[in-house]
Structure 1
Amino acid sequence: MATKTVTMGTATIGPSNWRNNTLRGIKLSQNVVHRSDKSADMGKSVDPLPNLRETLAELGNNEAHGHFRVTRSVVFQLRENLIDTNEEVKSLTRAKEALDKAIENTRKDIKLNQDSENIRLSRPQREKDHDGADDLLKAERLHLQNMKRMLESQKKLVHQQLHTLDHARKRLSNVISERSRVLDLICHALPGGSVSALTSRTNPWTRRSQMSASADFDHSYGAMDSGADPLGAFTPEAESAMEDAKEARLRSATLRREVADLVNQVNKMQNVTKESVNGGLIGKIGESAELKQHLDVTAAENRHAINRAHRWFDQTEKAWGYSRGPVDASDIMAREKLDRPIIKTFQRHPGTGLPEAQDIVKGGDGLLQSLQSTSRNIGLLKLAQLKLRDNIRDKKSAIDIDSNIVRMRRRKANHRWVMGQAY
């Protein structure tokens, strides 16, 4: 409001002091009015509006809601990390189960190896000489023991990594619980359902919620990129929990690959050693069968020789009996007597003696020696026959034992049996 200047007439009747005092009062009042109007004009642009309380409340609510939304996005990221950690725990648990199965199979193979060695101890004494099959079984046992130690050491690493993942999971859960304390007045689910929904949904009715969710993620990633703030939505504890969980998942993934490679390597080595041992046992069975066939042929030839020797003994014994003549002298025929008429007539001249009696005695002695020699040969042939039969029996027993071992190993190769089960 403009201030008007008061003008007075030139002719004055009253005293000048009185007039000046009045004018000074008027001027002072005009200055005060001018200052008041100027202050009012300035207050119109500076002073708070009448709805200050409502405005401040709305601003505070907006600030709180913005913090809620950013915190919700951070919680969503934490939950994503928690879900990934849970899935990694499941995967590593499956890897641990594969390790347990491989260790159990290795223990079964060690038990099968021990059973094979124990069964081979029941072979006959003749067949207990150390052979290549024993070396293969010993080498298999050493390989299996080494593989068992490798699997058990790897299992310890997996067990430790599971503890690390569990610690990271609990830490994420605690951080999520702490961050979710301010989400009581807001929906915990992001608008649009998930991050993938932000790019996959094109419904115009959900575009606004998608834009809101995208803004939330932009704010959350902006808060994460700008660094952790102890008083913000993305705290150092949340950052540390996410980093620890990520590092634990990476180590777990590497460990799972190592476990898978080790299990495959162990399975291949087990198959190779099994085939090697089974091949060695089959080779030993083939050698024993070949030797048994030769023994059977030799035993048959020996039996044939015994029969021939018996026939020769019988013929020689008959010849020896014929050379000795009759038992009773009355049974001697005239043509067999040494003093038969023709010999008596021949001996009438001097120097006509015949060595017939000496030759008969010598012939009988020779036949007797032949009988004794044939009898000794028959005894030796029978002794050889007994040894051959014992050897054949031992070879057959060794073949049966090794064959039973091979069948047992093939039957139990699938590991579908319980430890301690009778073979």
Structure 2
Amino acid sequence: MVDICATPLKPSSAPAPLRPIMRMGTACVGPRQWQDDTVRQIKLGRSVNRRSENDREYGRQHDALPHMRDVLVRHSNTVAFGYVREVRVVVIKLRENLITENEEVKLLLRGKEALEKMLDNMRKDILMNKKCVDIRKTRPKREKDLDEADKTIEMERTELENLKKNLEGHLKITKKHLILMDQSRKRLARVLDERSEVLELICHSRNSIRHDHLLKSQLMSPSSVGGGGMLQNALGMDSSRPNTTTSSTGMKTPKLDSRKITEILAKTANVGDDLLASERGDRGAMMKSGVYTARTFRPLDGERPSTPPLSNLGPYTPEAAEAIDESRDLIEKSRQQRLSIAEAVDEAAREAKRLHNCVNDALTQRLAETITLMQHLSMGEAENRTAYNKNTRHYEMTDVSRGYNLGPVAYSDLQSRERLDRPMVKVYNRHPGTNVPDARDLIRANNQLEDSLEKTQKNLALLHLSNIRIKEDQRDKKAAADIDATIIRFRKKKADHRWVPGEQ
């Protein structure tokens, strides 16, 4: 049994009690249960006291500070500002792609106009080719034989048809690509409008990204600021001030330790790792926590800001990435299409010019040959006319000779020396078998002259017929030459394509 009335031993440093202290459990008069209840209550009070003291000390170390709301508001604003600036990078990227695609659409439209213009020229050339064929069909029958000029015109028509089909294929592809680019532009504009909804309170200029003063505390390098410097700046504290601050009541309170503030923030708001990562410059930790922004690492002058990581709920969404990738792919295909259009148009223009010159050269050569034949026909006609005149004179002279040989019509008009009964002939005929050859030779000469007249008359008829044919041929050649010359003038007149098909 412990004596509760005994005076307990006290250390030398303990103050002297005002009354004697009785030890617990030494009462001998009161009931045992009564004493145990009291002791139990006392022990329970001491336990509660120790627990409250521990909780109070823990609360002093770990409970949220009075300005916790301001810190969280600033941190939330920092996260929001970082997100908005990330969105601004995405918006700028979308806008640049939209502008580039718009310019590419303009260039592709110019290529489409060049294609349509060349196609219009091809159609005009085909119409001109058909017109030339129709004009050449009006030549005289003698000149309608198939020649090299006709073959060249037919070859030109075939080549122009092939060129026209090739250009129509390019035009069809270009129209389809323009439709795809228009859909891509609408998609970019839709994504751009959706991403721009959070940019009402921020400058849209890309150069302002390098002058972000609101995130200056998070963007400062750890080498220039201490471990708690960023947080102090975020909390509005100045490290150059003394460690005591004056409250609104005028009482001086000790300055809070930045490390304890960081620990408190980490355990209460669960954002200390983000702030510490921001202080350390740990890009991976900030990216993992979601606080990382494209502005965290400030780009140098002339350097483009980095694109945020792809995330379904982040600034750079898969829809934006797909829209940008689609626009870039279409822009690249558009550039290749423009190159193929330029090559096709240039090739078509060069080939059409070559074919035009070939046909013109063939028609010019045919015209030159026709004119040469006309000149030879003129010379042949002159020679024929000269021969006809000579034969006519020969016929007349032969006819006169035959008349002379026949002699006068009446016997009484013969001279005595021409008569067969003149004295000399009578004396000569006295012997038998003697006859003069006058009558026989005259008959033979007359027959020869008649044969000569008949042949000359036939020659004159042939010369006349040949002269008629030469004149007809000359007339046909002249008509063919005029037609070929008309076609050449027509082709040279229509070569500039400044004419309307319905007005030719």
TM range (shorter): 0.7 to 0.9
Aligned partners of 2:111, 2:357: CA distance in 1, in Å?
Answer: 27
Aligned partners of 1:330, 1:82: CA distance in 2, in Å?
Answer: 128
Gap change, CA 1:151 and 1:216, over 3 Å in 2: farther
Alignment match of 1:8 (pick from 8, 17, 32) = 17
3-state DSSP of counterpart to 1:420: helix
Q: State TM-score, norm by structure 1.
A: 0.85
Alignment match of 1:412 (pick from 494, 498, 503) = 494
Q: State TM-score, norm by structure 2.
A: 0.72
The AA in structure 1 aligned to 2:138 is: S
Distance apart, 1:297 and its partner CA: 1.8
Alignment match of 2:110 (pick from 55, 70, 94) = 94
Aligned partners of 1:135, 1:11: CA distance in 2, in Å?
Answer: 143
The AA in structure 1 aligned to 2:150 is: D
Contact 1:95 1:260 in 2 (8 A): yes
Partner of 1:131: 147
Partner of 2:135: 119
Partner of 2:466: 384
Contact 2:122 2:160 in 1 (8 A): yes
The AA in structure 2 aligned to 1:400 is: D
Gap change, CA 1:240 and 1:221, over 3 Å in 2: farther
Aligned partners of 2:355, 2:296: CA distance in 1, in Å?
Answer: 60
1:191-233 CA-partner distances (Å, limit 9, x unpaired): 35xx9xx7xxxxxxx7979x99993896996554x3x211111
1:169-203 CA-partner distances (Å, limit 9, x unpaired): 110000001111111222222335xx9xx7xxxxx
Alignment match of 2:335 (pick from 221, 230, 253) = 253
Q: Does 1:105 align with 2:114?
A: no
Contact 1:70 1:216 in 2 (8 A): no
Alignment match of 1:70 (pick from 79, 86, 93) = 86
Aligned partners of 2:296, 2:191: CA distance in 1, in Å?
Answer: 19
Contact 1:73 1:216 in 2 (8 A): no
Distance apart, 1:45 and its partner CA: 3.1
Distance apart, 1:289 and its partner CA: 2.3
1:11-59 CA-partner distances (Å, limit 9, x unpaired): 78999759x9999999988887776555444333322222233333222
Contact 2:85 2:294 in 1 (8 A): no
Mean Cα displacement is larger for which, 363-372 or 322-331? 322-331
Aligned partners of 1:39, 1:237: CA distance in 2, in Å?
Answer: 51
The AA in structure 2 aligned to 1:317 is: D
Aligned partners of 1:221, 1:229: CA distance in 2, in Å?
Answer: 18
Aligned partners of 2:22, 2:147: CA distance in 1, in Å?
Answer: 157
Gap change, CA 1:217 and 1:75, over 3 Å in 2: farther
Instruction: Give the paired residue count.
Output: 404
Aligned partners of 2:366, 2:22: CA distance in 1, in Å?
Answer: 157
1:60-103 CA-partner distances (Å, limit 9, x unpaired): 22222221111111100000010111111111111111111111
Query: 1:93-242 counterparts in 2 under 5 A?
Result: 93-192=109-208, 215=295, 222=306, 224=308, 226=309, 228-242=310-324
Gap change, CA 1:80 and 1:36, over 3 Å in 2: same
Alignment match of 2:72 (pick from 56, 64, 80) = 56
The AA in structure 1 aligned to 2:191 is: V
Q: Does 1:85 align with 2:101?
A: yes
The AA in structure 1 aligned to 2:114 is: A
Q: Does 1:43 align with 2:59?
A: yes
Partner of 2:408: 326
Partner of 2:264: none
Query: 1:261-300 counterparts in 2 under 5 A?
Result: 261-300=343-382
Gap change, CA 1:257 and 1:8, over 3 Å in 2: same
Gap change, CA 1:365 and 1:223, over 3 Å in 2: closer
The AA in structure 1 aligned to 2:109 is: T
The AA in structure 2 aligned to 1:148 is: K
Aligned partners of 2:193, 2:54: CA distance in 1, in Å?
Answer: 57
Distance apart, 1:128 and its partner CA: 0.6
The AA in structure 1 aligned to 2:128 is: L
Contact 1:278 1:406 in 2 (8 A): yes
Q: Let me know the Cα RMSD of the aligned residues.
A: 3.4
Alignment match of 2:325 (pick from 239, 243, 246) = 243
Partner of 1:315: 397
Mean Cα displacement is larger for which, 246-255 or 9-18? 9-18
The AA in structure 2 aligned to 1:393 is: R
More helix by share: 1
Contact 1:161 1:252 in 2 (8 A): yes
The AA in structure 2 aligned to 1:74 is: V
Partner of 2:387: 305
Aligned partners of 2:453, 2:306: CA distance in 1, in Å?
Answer: 119
The AA in structure 2 aligned to 1:137 is: I
The AA in structure 2 aligned to 1:313 is: Y
Contact 1:323 1:363 in 2 (8 A): yes
Distance apart, 1:258 and its partner CA: 1.3
The AA in structure 1 aligned to 2:500 is: V
What is the identity percentage for the equivalent residue pairs of Structure 1 and Structure 2? 39
Contact 2:191 2:319 in 1 (8 A): yes
| Structure having the higher Rg | 2
Contact 2:82 2:294 in 1 (8 A): no
Gap change, CA 1:246 and 1:95, over 3 Å in 2: same
Q: Which runs of 5+ in 1 are unaligned?
A: 199-205
Distance apart, 1:274 and its partner CA: 1.7
